[in-house]
Structure 1
Amino acid sequence: MKRHLLAAICIGLSAFAGQAQNFDDYFVNKTIRADYIFSGNSEAQAICLDELSSLPQWAGRRHHLSELPLAGNGEIEMKDKASGKIIYRTSFSSLFQEWICEAEAKKVTRGFENTFLIPFPKNTATVTIRLKDVYHKETASLTHEIDPKDILIHQRGDEASITPHRYLLKSGSEENCIDIAILAEGYTKEETELFYKDAQTACEALFSHEPFKKLKSRFNVVAVFSESKDSGVSIPRQNEWKKTAVSSHFDTFYSDRYLTTRSVKAIHNWLAGIPYEHIIILANTDTYGGGGIYNSYTLTTAHHPMFKPVVVHEFGHSFGGLADEYAYDAAPSPQYPYSIEPWEQNITTLADFDAKWKDMVEPGTPVPTPVQTEKSLIYTKVGVYEGAGYTQKGIYRPTTECRMKINEAPVFCPVCQRALEKLIRFYTDK
């Protein structure tokens, strides 16, 4: 859906630093919500700490704590201050890192909100957050301490202030399941039941796709009714500006269908006190569009005829770090230099194809692979098909068609399915 994917990440597990540890050795069952500002322009970037908050439970993983599930274009590393041991790592993408590839970033400096959830340490910990460019080189970093006794850590999520919500799927505790929150955007109080209906549709669409379908018992899904003053969402090109829960709008980076929000703190304020790890935001509009940013959020329109395939596609970005497999430009994408193997599991420049799906390609398969026309092979015949990552030449996808390429695709391709399943099992296998 996005013109430039910041959800781009390789799903291969990186080597973990240090020995694995038990969650209870270093953490209590609470969450640190870390709010940052990423700022800068195309030439230089910086990170500053905005605020630390405490949430009443930890919904994330309790194992593989010092391993990275995906090699994103940013990462967070937490160390126990006393021992220097790495006790938690995670990765992410950001709208800011996409913006710095835009022409505007050559002329102006901007700041973007970013929020991340990390387990609450028992003792003082040091946290380092890093940003990387499209060449995988570090461009900015910040190291700060978290003292669990700090009185200025904002306590959020008390029972009296929790946003109204309903569970659509409850497979187990937050300790054992992946917790998805579906948030309302542009729904007024009178449209409460409409939102819950739309959220149920989104939930059913997601779990009609493999591997989510067969691993459904590893997920919880909660619909959270974040009330808006106005119905609908903002469309700047039509001079429509709405007062909505998370201030989303179309025309991000002047792209008509790119729907995002920069009010990331508002998203997390609505969710405080509810266990969550991954976020889907439903916009109450029939205008086509959406966006998905890895480990940040999916945002998509709920009343367009393509709602169901689009919400699944965008969740492929925000949850799975999958790339867009479509191509519309003959020129190279600024996100994907030909000399660098992309992070995403489902596209390749062939710079390091061994790290991708080479093991799934039949020996003797030509590269590029001719496009399949037989219906039974369109979604299943794994090869090296030219055209992906917005670029017609030099970047390749695994199959002729896939959920990450076209809305009409009924399934994720075998490579995307494998990547998603690896990630689900990383979060939930002990």
Structure 2
Amino acid sequence: MFRLPFRFFAAVLMLAAAALANAAHAAQPATVRVDYTHSGNALSDQYALERVVIEPLPWPGSTARNFDDTNRGQNRVEVVDAKTGDLLYSRGFSTVFGEWRTTEEAGKMSRSFQESVRFPKPDRPVRVRILERDERNQFSVAWSVDVDTDAQEVVRKQPALPVKPIPVHVSGPSSDKVDLLIMGDGYTAAELNKFEADARRLSKYLFSVSPFKERAKDFNVWALAVPTAESGISRPSTGVHRASKLGTRYDIFGSERYVLTLDNRALRDIAQHAPYEFIEILVNNETYGGGGIFGQFSTAAAGNAWANYLFVHEFGHHFAGLADEYYTSPVAYAAASTRMEPWEPNVTALRDPANIKWKRHVKAGTPLPTPWPKAEYEEASRAYQKKRAALRAANRPESEMNALFHDDLEATNALFAGKPGRPLPHRHDVGAFEGANYEATGYYRPAMQCLMFDRSGAFCPVCQDGITEIIDLYAGAAR
């Protein structure tokens, strides 16, 4: 008797779920995208409108959750009624420009970056406001523009895409779920099956890590890649240059492992053909690298031995605005001159220990700051960073770098385990461990070890809370 394979039925069910999601979308408002330029330097910045676009797909989010109360991001977009000033929509986000302006280059010259904000199409003219955090860490309006989404100059029709999004993990209608779009860059036409396999493999790993594991049914995952002529993306520091569809490359801001795209127009014009609220770009490379901008996108080298870690760590930046908790690796950013309380949920300047932002996780009697073997860790880290720099300078095989990363994690685990019969007293406590946010002093992280601190495999309780809050914003009960 002939029997169809299980994979066939699974594919039919997946496509049926996708059809259900699209049907639910039919009642949704259209998606509006405002493209603009953001230019300036370390001291000042300016904005200018480029265009207003009605995207091909309906709004993927719930209109019952239009207001963001998480206080995340260096920026916030607010859409208000042009006549009454009533708030219709808000979201926090950060930008590539915001990171660039902390680099040494921004003190010497001005640059322009492309940015976009998206929101459900209103039934009236609106004012779109971009807010920035000021010196008091409070939001204030930096730019506003009046937008009539029914005006003649609004772009309503764009070329079709030669490929279709692939449903990877569909839990229900987009309006009730978090929609994650995994995009590929540097995959040739012959490698599109590899891209799909990479997207499925890494999304599966994402949902093995708490709290994504427990909330997997609150997500839809889609995959989309436009093939490139050559395999891989540019890595200018080694003389490798590739013409890729998204413009993703290594060596952003002079950091050899930092992978971003600066071509926002290309990114959005492709992404708009799939339902999405969050984007992770998989680059078809083996070299360790990635990046993440809150509310914009994240990236990960899909072919690297540490791709699982890269995918989840960078998504933590993009999805929840989690800060890096490490501080011994070289970065492109200049050190802050003041210790303002960070907006990120998982780092603190500890200005008021009695009211630390993650107070509910701190057990009575836990000292703040919390002792840990900081000096020993830093001594080992200096030696590790020296070896790492030497490997990159000599352009050694990636297998040697991967082995070094493994040895470094093993050494950290051994240090934090303590001596036989003498475990470290606060090894698994939540407290305030000095050293975070790229600085050795003045900033503190919640736990001795976390996925945002090193290449270990779990988020600390505070980071888990930060992620859960964003899941609830997009897929929780109506706010």
Alignment length (residue pairs) = 401
Cα offset for 1:138? 6.2
Q: Give deviations 1:353-381, integer Å, cap 9, x for gaps.
A: 52611221111111221225368998742
Q: Matches of 1:380 and 1:352 in 2, distance apart? A: 22
Task: Return the letter of the residue paired with 2:67.
Answer: S
- Alignment-derived partner of residue 397 in structure 1: 445
Residues 1:378 and 1:188: Cα distance change in structure 2 (over 3 Å): farther
- Alignment-derived partner of residue 427 in structure 1: 474
Task: Return the letter of the residue paired with 1:144.
Answer: V
- Alignment-derived partner of residue 400 in structure 2: none
TM-score w.r.t. the length of structure 1 is 0.88
- Aligned 8 A contact 1:74 1:93 in 2: yes
2:389 aligned with 1:388: no
- Aligned 8 A contact 2:417 2:427 in 1: no
Q: Matches of 2:317 and 2:351 in 1, distance apart? A: 22
Residues 1:80 and 1:195: Cα distance change in structure 2 (over 3 Å): same
- Alignment-derived partner of residue 77 in structure 2: 76
Q: Matches of 1:88 and 1:413 in 2, distance apart? A: 31
Q: Matches of 2:362 and 2:144 in 1, distance apart? A: 43
Q: Matches of 2:155 and 2:234 in 1, distance apart? A: 31
- Alignment-derived partner of residue 287 in structure 1: 287
Moved more, 228-237 or 335-344: 335-344
- Aligned 8 A contact 1:199 1:223 in 2: yes
Cα offset for 1:173? 0.6
- Alignment-derived partner of residue 10 in structure 2: none
Q: Percent identity?
A: 32
- Which residue of 399, 403, 417 maps to 1:373? 417
Task: Return the letter of the residue paired with 1:403.
Answer: L
Moved more, 91-100 or 140-149: 140-149
Q: Matches of 1:163 and 1:347 in 2, distance apart? A: 41
- Alignment-derived partner of residue 131 in structure 2: 130
Q: Matches of 2:317 and 2:162 in 1, distance apart? A: 28
Q: Give deviations 1:88-137, integer Å, cap 9, x for gaps.
A: 11111111111111111111110011122111111111111123357526
Residues 1:291 and 1:201: Cα distance change in structure 2 (over 3 Å): same
Looking at secondary structure, tell me which structure has more helix per residue: 2
- Aligned 8 A contact 2:335 2:439 in 1: no
SS in 2 for 1:327: coil
2:91 aligned with 1:90: yes
Q: Matches of 1:243 and 1:146 in 2, distance apart? A: 35
Q: Matches of 1:257 and 1:378 in 2, distance apart? A: 32
Task: Return the letter of the residue paired with 2:440.
Answer: Q
- Alignment-derived partner of residue 100 in structure 2: 99
Q: Matches of 1:377 and 1:34 in 2, distance apart? A: 52
Cα offset for 1:212? 0.7
- Alignment-derived partner of residue 19 in structure 1: none
Q: Give deviations 1:64-86, integer Å, cap 9, x for gaps.
A: 42333333111111111232211
Cα offset for 1:337? 5.2
Task: Return the letter of the residue paired with 1:114.
Answer: E
- Aligned 8 A contact 1:235 1:250 in 2: yes
Residues 1:86 and 1:377: Cα distance change in structure 2 (over 3 Å): farther
Residues 1:379 and 1:251: Cα distance change in structure 2 (over 3 Å): farther
SS in 1 for 2:174: coil
Task: Return the letter of the residue paired with 2:463.
Answer: C
Q: Matches of 1:215 and 1:172 in 2, distance apart? A: 13
Q: Matches of 1:133 and 1:114 in 2, distance apart? A: 20
- Alignment-derived partner of residue 302 in structure 1: 302
SS in 1 for 2:328: strand
Moved more, 373-382 or 269-278: 373-382
Once the two structures are superposed, the pairs formed by residues 5-404 of structure 1 within 5 Å of their partners are 29-55=29-55, 56-132=57-133, 136=137, 141-156=142-157, 160-161=160-161, 163-328=163-328, 334=334, 336=336, 338-352=338-352, 354=355, 356-371=357-372, 373=417, 380-404=428-452
Cα offset for 1:403? 0.7
Q: Matches of 1:337 and 1:37 in 2, distance apart? A: 28
Q: Matches of 2:424 and 2:216 in 1, distance apart? A: 26
Q: Matches of 2:360 and 2:206 in 1, distance apart? A: 27
Task: Return the letter of the residue paired with 2:105.
Answer: E
Superposed CA RMSD = 2.3
Structure (1 or 2) with the larger CA radius of gyration: 2
Q: Matches of 1:282 and 1:426 in 2, distance apart? A: 25
Task: Return the letter of the residue paired with 1:389.
Answer: N
Cα offset for 1:330? 11
Moved more, 310-319 or 269-278: 269-278
SS in 2 for 1:54: strand
Q: Matches of 1:355 and 1:361 in 2, distance apart? A: 9
Task: Return the letter of the residue paired with 2:45.
Answer: Q
Residues 1:377 and 1:204: Cα distance change in structure 2 (over 3 Å): farther
Q: Matches of 2:297 and 2:157 in 1, distance apart? A: 20
SS in 2 for 1:220: strand
Q: Matches of 1:135 and 1:279 in 2, distance apart? A: 31
Q: Which runs of 5+ in 1 are unaligned?
A: 1-26
Moved more, 353-362 or 334-343: 334-343
Q: Matches of 1:391 and 1:77 in 2, distance apart? A: 32
Greater relative contact order (CA < 8 Å, ≥ 6 in sequence): 1
- Aligned 8 A contact 2:433 2:445 in 1: yes
Cα offset for 1:283? 0.3
Q: Matches of 1:205 and 1:329 in 2, distance apart? A: 26
- Alignment-derived partner of residue 413 in structure 1: 460
Moved more, 87-96 or 358-367: 358-367
Task: Return the letter of the residue paired with 2:462.
Answer: V
TM-score w.r.t. the length of structure 2 is 0.79
Q: Which runs of 5+ in 2 are unaligned?
A: 1-26, 373-415
